[in-house]
Amino acid sequence: MSSENPLDDEDTFKILIATDIHLGYLEKDAIRGNDSYNTLNEILKCAKTNQVDFILLGGDLFHENKPSRRCLHSSITMLRKYCMGDSPVTFNILSDQTVNFNTTQFPWVNYQDENLNISIPVFSIHGNHDDPTGAEGLCALDLLSASGLVNHFGHSHSVERIEISPVLMQKGRTKLALYGLGSIPDERLYRMFVNNQVSMLRPKEDQDEWFNLFTIHQNRSKHGPTNYIPEQFLDDFIDLVVWGHEHECLIAPTRNEQQLFYVTQPGSSVATSLSPGEATKKHIGLLRVKGRKMNLQKIPLKTVRQFFIQDVVLADYEDLFTPDTPQVMKKVEDLCYAKVTEMLDEAERERLGSSLTPEKPLIRLRVDYSGGFEVFNTSRFSQKFVDRVANPKDIIHFLRRREQKEDIKDDANVDYSKLLKVTAVEGLRVEDLVKQYFEAAEEKVQLSLLTEKGMGKAIQEFVDKDEKDAIEELITFQLEKAQRHLQARGVSTEEDIDKEVRHFRDSKKNTTEEEDDIKEAMNRAKAHQRERGDETVDPDISDEVTDVTMDSDEGSAPAPTRGRGRGARGRGSRGRGRGAAASEPKPAGRGRSQKSSAATQSRSIMQAFQAPSRSSRTVAAMSFAVDEVTIEDSDEDTPFMKAAKHPARPSSSSLPKYSSQSQSQSSRGVAFDDSDDDEDNPFKGPGRSRR
């Protein structure tokens, strides 16, 4: 790319945008182990080549909550290589940095640290893979923050109220307000938005002069009634939203016609699941902001492994075979072989001239064998491509559609499209599996003290984050709380105890108190673990890594599965001598077969998380002045300017004041005078918008 561009001047912010890098994904795989590291290296090298002002990451920098030594070493090495240097940083931070960077003992931006020499600052929020855990609420990003390599922002410490305070930046005459919100369970954040418990702070002075950029890491697509965050929940003074967590690359900004802001979804830089959304070409973005105008340039990633996916419905090939055709299985296998070979040929054609693209592509063929067909041996089939593909073990994925029986009362109003559903589901979360188990279980094996949500959360902590004592400590905490509840109510008979425990459990299901108490119990469990001096086994020491699919591109909250040989060191080592402690309370049976004295020890499990009910706080709505934003876009390669002098660190007395703003109900419009014929893409050509 050229070194000069008329768009790059002393008033223009240049920001490199990327999300969901998932560093360390399948790092022990012989073929795909270096994919995430190569792509991060390409992203950082691109930032340095383009002389950006800073890098903005939208969460999930790390794939594991506890990255291995290799993963941490590689990330630190690359950040030091590309982000440190003598090039001056040409923008100032105007906001209160002790509020913006509240997760470190060095609460200021790293390039203003007199002991560091930073040329490209990195600002990042945390995702659901590398989210804070433990009583201290620390995550892997905090390690990089303490070492001065990354500026971790957007971490909310409160579970009752979220106030998003922006990082206020100024370069020349351009003022940029950078908002960030790290990953929060979607159901909880959804409820907080509904209850007006989320507010975004704005400067009191010159509100119309700020370009407002918001980074979020949540479900964007709807996975349930409250298991996502609608775009309409976000404040309408925002100009651009960088949406992380969704893996499908939809980096071209789209306009929300209700809130009248734009949303860009960069997607992941490595395929963590073999789903259609991951097959789209991977990009990062180069965002230019000058005044109230912006320009977003797509930059394709060259080190990403190719991924091709096709669907085959065997019933559509009646002219070739039917379930009754002789040797039909052989003919089906030949068809699949032809399809895979076709995708491999296409991959080879696309790879010509690109030396950075890995040689072996990812191939996925989803075969619908509904209608009486039989499946063939996939292991034997995969051996034919073991030297040509990166995922030989899971090239073929068989699925079958079956008719779901539903209660049909009115034949005239039947939606027949819902009668056929795919039974194969990829990317299920641990909580979903727990919920499905108890929904299908008989009455005699239902939970009496625990709720499904609490049990699912404890199991998720055990599976995702290797917290070996999560389940046991959670149960102990909840049992104690249930016992206190029974004593306070003065219940004595066995029948009353059973009734009161069930009532106590049911009263807290699907409430805010339930989520708050789960978090409180998990924090106490981790604190107890530290008090006992237990050491966590180094995640870098493991037996093997299983080749599994992770996040769906559609944003389902992942449950990363590690092939760490837990049977040898996980569950088997969790006893810690508790069984011999006479004073340790044991959960009572589900039954009414327990005696009264034993029943009083039945301390509730999930509902034992009583927390004082929170009153819903309302935020005073403030009207704001009509904004004027002009947005530009260009698909051409753009050159880059030389940076100016290193700015002086602003004094705290010069920091602007903030005012709280809830979701305003006032509408604002964006009208474009665009000479381009393509009206669907407002980023084509120099366009002006008026709000």
Q: Which of 217, 148, 153 lies closest to 185, judged by CA? A: 217
Cβ contacts of 20 within 8 Å, gap of 6 or more: 58, 59, 60, 127, 244, 245, 247, 266, 267, 268, 269, 551
Kindly state the tokens that stand for 154.
Answer: 């957007």
- Residue 175: Cβ-neighbour burial (10 angstroms; 0-12, 13-18, 19+): buried
The dihedral sign for the CA sequence 76, 82, 86, 87: negative
The dihedral sign for the CA sequence 224, 227, 231, 233: positive
* 38: region left, alpha or beta (phi > 0 left; psi from -120 to 50 alpha): alpha
Cβ contacts of 555 within 8 Å, gap of 6 or more: 218, 219, 220, 221, 223, 228, 245, 246, 247
Cβ atoms of 636 and 212 closer than 8 Å: no
Q: Which residues of 102-127 are buried (b: 16+ CB within 10 A; e: fewer)?
A: ebbeeeebbbbeeeeebbbbbbbbbb
Q: Which of 322, 327, 340 lies closest to 381, judged by CA? A: 340
Q: What is the Cα Rg of the chain in Å?
A: 27
Give catalytic residues, as residue numbers.
Answer: 129
Whole-angstrom distance, CA of residue 563 vs CA of residue 566: 8
Q: Which of 176, 177, 126 lies closest to 155, judged by CA? A: 126
Whole-angstrom distance, CA of residue 176 vs CA of residue 209: 9
- Residue 679: Cβ-neighbour burial (10 angstroms; 0-12, 13-18, 19+): exposed
Whole-angstrom distance, CA of residue 310 vs CA of residue 341: 12
Whole-angstrom distance, CA of residue 61 vs CA of residue 304: 16
Cβ atoms of 283 and 299 closer than 8 Å: yes
